[in-house]
């Protein structure tokens, strides 16, 4: 009798304990690369930061699981016929403290984004908004920005000119509506754990710098029922080998840290089920300094250098992660993608080399009178390997290459100051649109300022393309612009980037996307 | 002793001032700035950033502003880690670095000293060769080689310990980084202790003690050990400072939230205030450690007194 009673009591206690603990929490462990510099979405600039802030702050327009745009806090929107007035209809939603999210929060956030003191890196993407540039340079008050909230659930954004990529810019983390009621009270401290109020599928739980950032599911999220993960822990994993070890040890479900180049074959052979490679909107190319007096000012030389490079040798034998050899500037995976191409792309190598040697002779160079050029690259094993290979490919043309290696900050400072002849460059899309790439070579664009490239026709074509409302016609105009750039041999394209991440097979709902965004709200962990 | 300590602390002021000034201007001379990145910023945006961090002011004015803030104990905001002040970052990172550094130096002493003594006592024996051979390897192999091997073997292949991560300083997470960090110091200490012990054991007063018929254990414990510890003690100051500040690689490999990572990342990112903050902190730490060692040295060696 006593034994029976004891057994029953033990069973009951067991059941109660089990119920109290519930099912094990589904917490995703993510190796996030670097340590976030901030969790204020308007003060971040790195992809490792936006991976967190995109989960914390919902935008008017958001990313679907495949990276395409889908309604977020705005249930729907209309664009005026002239393409300059955007009217958003906001859904009923709440901040994580239960306060309603209103159109005023969106107005507040956009005004804050353009304040000079916020010093947002991507503020220029929002310059199409009426008065935005003036606000950002301190010449106009934030209240003069072309945004208004006629009522709690309607937001109107007035642009100066039609801007095809504008919805893409609104999907970015810096454009998320922010909790005005909290920021006005807490000031700069608002984005700290314990204070932050968020609107996304997750809220901030804990942030231990250099150790981890923990986020947990937000019960106030408008679509909380569809979120499966209980939480996510992000670890800063800067060291590539260490991140690989931690992934292999099972400490990480996802590793966003780059796989070490030297281990790529091993990873492909041993972690094939986990290696997720996909196209990415990013271009790896060599930039030429085109200013007068520079050796690369001669178009014949630039054409010859372009002709002599065997791009597939680089993508297949040096990189080997599925990168796509490119004879174009705008990556092929880009939405509304252009179709420009270097004219010799299909020619046999022998024919290309003959032409390259002839061009060099015409420019006054050859084995007897070699061209001496410097090629700058920033410190990374793969950049070095590519630079050495390209220098060897140019050798038959009578080109003597001096390789200059520098840490990233020094490398990019030299490029920005135009202190280079040929420089390794990589451009990763901020927005999924060819304009993001092409604008760099337009007047006052970053690449234009570095290289000195100037072509009035190019600038005019690009300007026309931004104002064109018909998508096909716009792509056509941008293709013409890209072709112009390629016909000028303004740069030397090498390959389209890919994203290559380690994701355990237990992680479901994770997709490769061209912008390399992976919304956590669609991800679940399989038992 | 008190006046000596005060004098040494006062002497540290010009040293620190020199370190701060040199570091400040060297950082600004270094090519590249905090906002140079893959994509050059439009001039308007760059101007906003420069103004936000007072980098648009003339350099002497920036120096005066920095020194003024420093005197009030304010290291300024980090350019990269914008949600934290440099002081907050140092205060969060230092206890972690101190914990693994302290444990590493403790381990190095606990194992290094007896190993050195044993090797000295068993001089030219197989034990001596074994200890010194291992110590030589420990000195020769850098910790950026040892650490990944430890993580791979014990973290991945055997799965006995975590391959990385801090986990709030849980014991299993401490084991590998502490071992990796201590190996080199352990080897140095063992080699130093052996040499010092051999020297002491061959001195006249030890011979006299033996001649008096003292037991060997008494000779070693009462007469040889204390003087033999002196060189190790003087090495301890730089070693502690070095192990606390130099754990950058270990912190990076095992994902430990210590102060070392801020120094390296700050330098790479041209995060001027963060680099300056860590330099000032490290400088003060090294001055303090050297002072402590001098005081410890005088306690161990009655011939040295600092009463002047």
In angstroms, what is the C-alpha Rg of chain B? 24
Mutate to test the interface with B, among A122, A194, A210 (most CBs of B within 10 A): A210
As for the ipTM of the complex, it is 0.84
Range of lowest pLDDT (A82-86, A218-222, B218-222): B218-222
What does the pLDDT average to over B258-279? 88
Span B107-147, pLDDT tens digits? 999 999 999 999 998 988 999 999 889 888 888 888 888 99
Q: Which residues contact B227 (CB under 8 A, 6 or more apart)?
A: B200, B301
Taken in order A431, A437, A438, A442, is the CA torsion positive or negative?
positive
Is residue B201's pLDDT more than 60?
yes
DSSP string, B18-71: HHHHHHHHHHHHSSS-TT--SSPPPHHHHHHHHHHTTTTS-HHHHHHHHHHHHH
Of A273, A302, A414, the C-alpha closest to A365 is A302
Across chain A, mean pLDDT equals: 92
Cβ-nearest to B52 among A117, A236, A413 = A117
Distance CA A259, CA A257 (A): 6
Closest-approach residue (CA) in chain B for A284:
B38
CA distance A111 to A118: 10
Contact A116 B51 (CB under 8 A): yes
- B83 vs A416: CB contact, 8 Å cut-off? no
* B52·A136 Cβ contact <8 A: no
3-state secondary structure of B255: coil
Which residues are CB-neighbours of A68 under 8 A, at least 6 positions away? none
pLDDT band of residue A238 (cuts 50, 70, 90) is confident
Least confident of A107-116, A119-128, A198-207, B293-302: B293-302
From chain B residues 92-121, the ones with a CB under 8 A of any chain A CB are 92-93
CA distance A30 to chain B (A): 12
Specify the pLDDT at position A474: 94
CA geometry: angle at A502 spanning A500 and A506, to 5°?
135
Residue B256 near chain A (CB below 8 Å): yes
| Cβ distance of B38 and A440 shorter than 8 Å | no
**A521 pLDDT more than 80:** yes
The model's confidence at residue B76, banded by pLDDT at 50, 70 and 90, is: confident
Q: How confident is the model at residue B282, as a pLDDT?
A: 84
* Residue B143, min C-alpha distance to chain A (Å): 14
> Which residues in chain A have their CB less than 8 angstroms from residue B262's CB?
210
pLDDT at A379 exceeding the cut of 70:
yes
- Residue A402, strand partner residues: A374
**Which positions in chain B touch A425 (Cβ < 8 Å)?**
38
Taking CB atoms and an 8 Å limit, are B155 and A428 in contact across chains?
A: no
Closest CB from B83, B92, B256 relative to A39: B83
Separation in Å, CA B183 to CA A367, B102, B147:
55, 13, 10
Judged against a pLDDT cut of 50, whether residue A230 lies above it is answered with: yes
Q: Answer whether A507's CB lies under 8 Å from A340's CB.
A: no
Q: Is B105 a residue whose pLDDT tops 60?
A: yes
Contact B230, B196 (CB under 8 A): yes
Convert the pLDDT of each residue in A464-512 to its tens digit.
Answer: 998 888 999 999 999 999 999 999 999 999 999 999 999 999 999 999 9
Q: Which of A191, A238, A413 comes nearest B83 by C-beta? A: A191
Chain A environment of B254 (Cβ under 8 Å): 242
CA distance B246 to chain A (A): 17
CA distance B100 to A267: 32
Q: Is the pLDDT of residue B38 over 90?
A: no
A251 vs B162: CB contact, 8 Å cut-off?
yes
Residue in B39, B148, B270 closest to A241 by CB: B148
Higher pLDDT, B289 or A187: A187
Higher-confidence residue of B49 and B293: namely B49
Please give, rounded to a whole number of angstroms, the shortest distance from the CA of A208 to a CA of chain B.
Answer: 8
Helix B272-300 vs helix B86-121: crossing angle, to nearest 10: 40
Q: Which residue of A has its CA nearest to B254?
A: A242
* Identity of the residue in A39, A236, A446 whose CB atom sits nearest the CB atom of B40: A446
According to the model, what pLDDT value does residue A448 have?
A: 95
Across the A:B interface, residue pairs with CB atoms under 8 Å apart total: 158
Interchain contact, A251 vs B40, CB within 8 Å: no
Distances B134 to B29, B116, B144 between C-alpha atoms, Å: 44, 12, 18
A413 with B33: Cβ contact below 8 A: yes
Which pTM does this prediction carry?
0.89
Q: Is B158 on the interface with A (CB under 8 A)?
A: no
**Token code pair at residue A167:** 């919805």
> Nearest 10 degrees: CA dihedral of A234, A237, A240, A243?
-60
The model's pLDDT over A14-49, given as tens digits with 9 standing for 90+, comes to: 444 444 445 568 999 999 999 999 999 999 988 999
d(CA A158, CA A171): 17
Element containing residue A147 per DSSP (H, E)? strand A147-151
């Amino acid at each position: 009798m006593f034994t029976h009673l004891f057994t029953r009591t033990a069973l009951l206690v067991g059941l109660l304990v089990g119920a109290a603990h519930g099912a094990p929490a589904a917490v995703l462990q993510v190796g996030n690369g670097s340590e976030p510099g901030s969790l204020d979405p308007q003060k971040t600039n790195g992809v490792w930061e936006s991976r967190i802030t995109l989960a914390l702050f919902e935008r008017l327009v958001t990313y679907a699981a495949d990276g395409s745009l889908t309604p977020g806090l705005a249930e729907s929107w209309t664009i005026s016929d002239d393409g300059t007035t955007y009217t958003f209809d906001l859904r009923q939603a709440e901040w994580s403290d239960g306060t309603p999210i209103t159109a005023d929060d969106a107005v507040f956030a956009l005004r804050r984004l353009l304040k000079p003191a916020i010093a947002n890196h991507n503020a220029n993407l929002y310059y199409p908004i009426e008065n935005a540039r003036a606000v950002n340079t301190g010449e106009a008050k934030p209240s003069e920005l072309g945004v208004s909230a006629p009522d709690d659930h309607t937001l109107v954004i007035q642009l100066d000119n039609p801007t095809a990529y504008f919805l893409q810019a609104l999907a970015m983390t810096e454009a998320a509506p922010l909790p005005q009621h909290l920021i006005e009270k807490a000031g700069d401290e608002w984005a700290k754990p314990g204070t932050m109020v968020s609107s996304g599928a997750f809220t901030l739980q804990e942030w231990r710098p250099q150790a981890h950032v923990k986020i947990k599911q937000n019960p106030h999220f408008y679509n909380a029922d569809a979120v499966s993960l209980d939480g996510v822990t992000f670890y800063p994993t800067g060291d590539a080998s260490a991140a690989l070890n931690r992934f292999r040890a099972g400490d990480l479900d996802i590793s966003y840290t780059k796989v070490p180049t030297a281990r790529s074959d091993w990873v492909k052979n041993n972690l094939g089920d986990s290696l997720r490679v996909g196209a990415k909107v990013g271009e790896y190319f060599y930039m030429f300094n085109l200013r007068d007096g520079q050796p690369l000012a001669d178009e014949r030389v630039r054409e010859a250098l372009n002709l002599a490079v065997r791009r597939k040798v680089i993508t297949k034998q040096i990189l080997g992660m599925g990168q796509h050899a490119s004879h174009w500037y705008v990556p092929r995976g880009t939405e509304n993608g252009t179709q420009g191409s270097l004219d010799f792309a299909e020619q046999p190598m022998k024919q290309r080399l003959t032409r390259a040697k002839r061009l060099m002779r015409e420019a006054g160079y050859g084995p007897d009178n070699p061209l001496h050029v410097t090629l700058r690259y920033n410190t990374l094993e793969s950049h070095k390997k590519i630079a050495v290979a390209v220098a060897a490919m140019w050798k038959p043309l009578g080109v003597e290459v001096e390789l200059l290696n520098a840490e990233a900050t020094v490398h990019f400072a030299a490029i920005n100051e135009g202190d280079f002849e040929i420089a390794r460059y990589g451009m990763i899309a901020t927005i999924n649109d060819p304009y993001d790439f092409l604008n760099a070579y337009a007047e006052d664009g970053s690449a234009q300022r570095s290289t000195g490239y100037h072509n009035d026709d190019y600038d005019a074509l690009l300007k026309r393309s931004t104002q064109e409302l018909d998508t096909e016609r716009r792509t056509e105009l941008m293709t013409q612009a890209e072709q112009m750039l390629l016909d000028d041999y303004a740069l030397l394209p090498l390959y389209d980037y890919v994203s290559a991440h380690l994701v355990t097979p237990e992680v479901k709902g994770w997709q490769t996307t061209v912008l390399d965004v992976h919304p956590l709200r669609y991800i679940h962990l399989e038992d | 002793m008190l006046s000596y300590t005060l004098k040494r602390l006062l002497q540290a002021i010009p040293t620190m001032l020199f370190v701060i000034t040199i570091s400040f201007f060297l950082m600004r001379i270094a090519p590249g700035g905090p906002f140079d990145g893959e994509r050059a910023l439009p001039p308007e945006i760059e101007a906003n950033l420069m103004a936000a961090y007072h980098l648009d002011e003339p350099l002497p004015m920036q120096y005066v502003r920095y020194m003024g803030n420093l005197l009030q104990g304010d290291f300024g905001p980090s350019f990269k880690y914008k949600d934290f002040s440099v002081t907050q970052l140092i205060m969060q990172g230092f206890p972690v670095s101190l914990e693994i550094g302290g444990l590493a130096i403790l381990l190095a002493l606990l194992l290094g000293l007896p190993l050195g003594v044993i090797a000295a006592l068993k001089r030219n024996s197989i034990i001596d060769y074994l200890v010194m051979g291992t110590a030589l390897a420990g000195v020769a192999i850098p910790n950026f080689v040892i650490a990944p091997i430890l993580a791979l073997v014990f973290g991945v292949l055997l799965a006995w310990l975590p391959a990385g991560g801090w986990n709030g300083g849980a014991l299993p997470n401490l084991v590998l980084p502490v071992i990796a960090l201590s190996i080199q110091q352990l080897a140095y200490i063992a080699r130093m202790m052996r040499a010092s012990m051999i020297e002491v054991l061959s001195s006249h007063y030890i011979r006299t003690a033996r001649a008096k018929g003292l037991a060997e254990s008494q000779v070693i414990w009462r007469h040889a050990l204390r003087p033999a510890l002196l060189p190790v003690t003087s090495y301890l100051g730089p070693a502690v400072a070095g192990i606390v500040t130099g754990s950058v690689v270990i912190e990076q490999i095992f994902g430990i939230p210590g102060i070392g990572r801020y120094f390296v990342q700050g330098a790479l990112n041209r995060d001027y205030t963060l680099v300056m903050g860590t330099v000032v902190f490290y400088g003060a730490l090294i001055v303090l450690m050297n002072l402590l060692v001098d005081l410890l040295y005088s306690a161990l060696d009655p011939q040295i007194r600092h009463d002047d």
